[in-house]
Chains A and B, each alone.
Chain A
Amino acid sequence: EPEVTQTPSHQVTQMGQEVILRCVPISNHLYFYWYRQILGQKVEFLVSFYNNEISEKSEIFDDQFSVERPDGSNFTLKIRSTKLEDSAMYFCASSEGTSASSPLHFGNGTRLTVT
Chain B
Amino acid sequence: GNSVTQMEGPVTLSEEAFLTINCTYTATGYPSLFWYVQYPGEGLQLLLKATKADDKGSNKGFEATYRKETTSFHLEKGSVQVSDSAVYFCALSPQGGSEKLVFGKGTKLTVNP
Which A residues form the contact surface with B (CB < 8 A)? Answer: 3-4, 31, 33, 35, 40-45, 48, 50, 55-56, 58, 91, 93, 98-100, 103-109
Contact = CB atoms under 8 A, between A and B. Distances in A.
A45 B43 contact: no
5 contacts: A43-B89, A56-B98, A98-B99, A99-B101, A100-B32
A81 B45 CA distance: 31
B100 A56 contact: yes
B43 A55 contact: no
A99 B100 contact: yes
Nearest to A3: B43
A5 to B, nearest CB: 10
A42 B97 CA distance: 22
B101 A45 contact: yes
Interface stretch (B16-24, B70-78, B102-110): B102-110
Interface residues of B, number: 24
A100 B103 contact: no
Given A56-B100, A105-B45, A108-B42, 14 more contacts: A4-B43, A31-B99, A42-B105, A45-B101, A48-B99, A48-B100, A55-B99, A56-B98, A58-B100, A100-B93, A103-B49, A104-B44, A106-B43, A106-B45
A33 B41 CA distance: 20
A109 B39 CA distance: 13
A21 to B, nearest CB: 14
A98 B103 contact: no
Nearest to A92: B43
Nearest to B46: A103
